[in-house]
Amino acid sequence: MTKRREDIRNIAIIAHVDHGKTTLVNEMLKQSDTLGKHYEIQDRALDSNAIERERGITILSKNTAVDYQGKKINILDTPGHADFGGEVERIMKMVDGVLLVVDAYEGTMPQTRFVLKKALEQHLTPIVVINKIDRPGARPAEVVDEVLELFIELGADDSQLDFPVIYASAINGTSSYSDDPADQEHTMNPLFDTILKTIPAPIDNSDEPLQFQVALLDYNDYVGRIGIGRVFRGKIKVGDNVTVMKLDGSTKNFRVTKLFGFMGLNRVEINEAKAGDLIAVSGMEDIFVGETVTPVDHQEALPLLRIDEPTLKMMFLQNNSPFAGREGTEVTARKIEDRLKKQLHTDVSLKVEDTDQAGAWMVSGRGELHLSILVEEMRREGFELQLSRPEVIYKTVDNQKCEPFEEVTIDTPDEYVGSVIDSMSQRKGDMVNMESTGNGQTKLIFSAPSRGLIGYSTEFLSMTGGYGILNHTFSEYKPVVKNWNPGRRTGALVSINQGPSTTYSLQSVEDRGTLFIGAGVDVYEGMIVGESSRDQDIAVTVTKGKNLTNTRASGKDHAAAIKTPKDMSLEQSIEFLNEDELCEVTPESVRLRKKILNTNERKKFDKQKKNTK
């Protein structure tokens, strides 16, 4: 009979963005025996990164552990967004069960589906938590049916289909086995008890030779790279001499200098770990995801873990605009390069390559969100940099040039269905399915090339008045769509001189397009100040003051006013770019500019380009 470690359970928690996953983990921490009675836990404690808190998304998986009735429950929080899908797959290898959190009103959502599919493929044991049971319009019984349908659709086996259901309101700290909100009790015990009863305890084969596999990376300036993973077999102690079986087939010996376990939100130093434990190991500088740590005299590697290939790339450049160095502290090429290389310590889906151009690097990632979050982190650290238009990464498959395609799932009010289908067909999206979901909503599924989706989310939100929900996940590489360029159709309003913008000048420009700046903003020659209403660029003056005369025109004394300029976020600015433009990012500003700033030089270049076509 297989011996098991009944003192421990390993689970991953998965949910669509904003379904209350992180709030639920908070409550589990509060109501378990983990934290002292006087411990103040902040809201959404797992989302430790400031950007995660603002956007309400989980970017990096976090480990936490709770103590309940003398048993340890390790909980791994998984990213909900498909750009971080590589992490999801590796986490599923570290756990024996999953907690699926679903909103009692919204039901199953596209991104839940993506992560759940990975869990079911690993034959993990599921527990379903129907959260927000007290929400107006909650429909728990229907949502459980939806979950069951989703499980069947994703090929769940018979044991997975027989999942237990807990009904909860994480924000109120209540749960119960009943779908009636009146039966909710101020306790998470039904959830804890179900985890202990349902999730299999890890197999205890700690008397066999060690196998520890790295699934996630962390980095710390004091101890260097840290490998986080699961002990699948045997024991590991501080001071042990062990072998790392590298991805390329080579081996490297090292000494374990520190081991960490997890309790609450903290990493705690431990001396020993055994089969079933989730731990972090330091002491090996170049340890990498998927590598196996074994005894020196018993080298047996575990199967490799898949790491998602990047599908999108963009150039990161040192800032050389006329305003370079005004707002940031980290502006040199050396500092930018060091920061990008540091990101590689922990982000395995990122690639950074040198280019022929000085102070420029090609950075490849899993999607727009993946790259824009890195940029946002860097600007908050005081960096100034420039970004080029994102491009998809092409691949040759069976001697044919192919590009990445994505599955696009859209939920929209019925009145916008026509516009959505039209806009997706313009972006070469093929409709795969369309169904009415009731309540005046329609669900549409498309297969579309990734390059057609660059910049689509902004257009989609304005088209559906903010009521549409758009999700897309990478599906496969397919032959390139020929004779099609999905770039911006309109030109830009480009400043021809430097200085502060004036209301007087802006008034004369605003009928030529949409302005991105108001009065009193410093501009430079070649800076983009708005979007042209035509299909070509228009050079404009936005710094001219009104000539003062001592004659007063009757009726002209009222204050001059201009329309409110369009506020461009970092993502919108990156999406706006054409190939001859750059986005300048500093801690305080996001500016758009032409690559060639001088107006006359730019005209010459454009003329030459037309002649060579």
Annotated binding site for GTP: 18-23, 131-134
52: nearest Cα among 281, 343, 336, 369: 369
CB 87 within 8 A of CB 60: yes
As a whole number of angstroms, the distance between CA 587 and CA 591 comes to: 11
Q: Give the whole-angstrom CA distance, residue 58 versus residue 27.
A: 17
Polymer length of the chain? 613
Q: Do 256 and 239 meet the contact criterion of CB atoms below 8 Å apart?
A: yes
Q: What are phi and psi of 461, to 5 degrees?
A: -65, -40
Crossing angle for the helix pair 456-463 and 417-426, to the nearest 10 degrees: 160
Q: What is the 3-state secondary structure (H, E, C) of 276-328?
A: CCEEEEECCCCCCCCCEEEECCCCCCCCCCCCCCCCEEEEEEECCCCCCCCCC
Cα-Cα-Cα-Cα dihedral sign, residues 328, 333, 338, 341? positive
Closest C-alpha to 562, from 512, 487, 612, 490: 512
Which DSSP letter does residue 480 get?
A: P
Give the CA distances from residue 304 to residues 90, 226, 298, 533, in Å, rounded to whole numbers and listed in that order. Answer: 10, 19, 18, 53
Angle (nearest 5°) at CA 237 between 232 and 239: 140
DSSP 8-state secondary structure symbol assigned to residue 547? P
Cβ neighbors of 375 (< 8 A, separation 6 or more) are 385, 387, 570, 574, 585
What contacts 343, CB < 8 A, 6 or more positions away? 350, 352, 374
Could you tell me where the DSSP H helices lie in 345-484?
A: 368-380, 417-426, 450-453, 456-463
Structure tokens at 248: 């390329």
Strand pairing report for 395-397 and 385-387: unpaired
Measured CA distances, 43 to 26, 27, 417 (Å): 7, 10, 38
The rounded distance, in Å, linking the Cα atoms of 513 and 199 is 59
Residues making up the annotated binding site are 18-23, 131-134
Amino acid at 444: L
DSSP string for residues in 24-74: HHHHHHHHSSSS-TTPPPPTTTT--SHHHHHHT---S-EEEEEEETTEEEE
Alpha helices in 384-480 (DSSP H): 417-426, 450-453, 456-463
Report how far residue 361's alpha carbon sits from residue 355's, in angstroms, rounded to the nearest whole number: 6
